[in-house]
Amino acid sequence: MKIAILPGDGIGTEIVAQAERVLGALDLRLETEHALVGGAAYEAHGHPLPPATLKLAQDADAVLFGAVGDWKYDTLERALRPEQAILGLRKNLGLFANFRPAICYEQLTHASSLKPELVAGLDILIIRELTGDIYFGQPRGRRASPDGAFKGSPEAFDTMRYARPEIERIAHVAFQAARKRGKRLTSVDKANVLETFQFWKDIVIEVHAQYPDVALDHMYVDNAAMQLVRAPKSFDVIVTGNMFGDILSDEAAMLTGSIGMLPSASLDAAGKGLYEPSHGSAPDIAGKNLANPLATILSAAMMLRYSLNQPAAADRIEAAVQQVLAAGLRTADIWSEGTAKVGTVEMGDAVVAALASASTANAKTTMTKG
């Protein structure tokens, strides 16, 4: 099982290092290879996604990604900005389905921005389409100069666009995911204003005919944003477009206590995926041992489950994370009175130790039974 490791910029290197340590504690036969991406790749090679990095990602069975970006690159022309690396990877790897689970662990109900009774037991899945929508639609207004200014241009525009096959395939993925959970799917759109999303809604209804066992409802995105903070547990699986999914999944992250707890998976049609935390590169805290590595560690668990066919190993990582939280260890983003504040490395140490203790306990149990 070959994993491409792309740490990226800012805190990306720190959090990915801890996820690698956790993977290394599992006694699996994993081959890993590192490459530069984002701003680090631009500095070294003049492009955020060099050909060698892309080839490594294409040849691997899965990709573990950190984060990209830094304010110092904001004046670069758009094609060379670090964020273009993740867009390029999604496009070239055919990654069209983004899974973002939002789970509020029992130990973190008081870290949520909502009242504990609203988030206790929260477990929702947001599925975001990744290859269409306004982020990729053509035509689009072009900046007149590489310094980012429009130099007096009279307008700027981006085009929202979806093709039928893009909507059909994400709808199938969402209905299939809902079948494995509570058999409830909410399709989020803005069909009352945008023709693109009336098209989306019509196609989702068509696909629903193939999944009569799944309950389908539709919700406008503004209402969905409101309901996520009013009654988040009323949702089970949400499917939506690229831009709406980008926004709603970050909103959902705060229900869990911190975006530092939110993993994600971006999958192709065959189940190969890129796995990354939902947060950004946070250059303001980079190198300070402050970042929460749990979203990246949980992303590694998703990688084992979805792309590497190692569900038992994924379960072990998730159980270790819960054990660490139960022990009261917290990074700064989820810290509260009465808990122990730890750094990035120390949180990684704790998860590795929890894995080791669970392995020892299992071994003793096996010996006793034998």
> What is residue 156's three-state secondary structure?
coil
Q: Which residues contact 19 (CB under 8 A, 6 or more apart)?
A: 64, 293, 296, 297, 299, 300
H-type alpha helices, 307-337: 311-326
CA-based nearest residue to 102, from 233, 216, 241, 268: 233
What's CA 109's distance to the chain center, in Å?
A: 21
Contact 266, 98 (CB under 8 A): yes
- Count other Cβ atoms within 10 Å, centred on residue 57: 22
Answer whether 255's CB lies under 8 Å from 232's CB.
yes
Listed in sequence order, the residues at least 6 apart from 361 whose beta carbon sits closer than 8 Å to its beta carbon are: none
d(CA 156, CA 281): 28
Which of helix, strand or coil describes residue 86? helix
Q: Count Cα neighbours of 293 within 13 Å in the Cβ-side half-sphere.
A: 32
Active site residues: 135, 190, 222, 246, 250
Give the integer Cα–Cα distance in Å for 102 and 170. 19
DSSP code of residue 123 = E
Instruction: For tokens 């038992």, name the residue.
Output: 312
Residue 118 in tokens: 């609203």
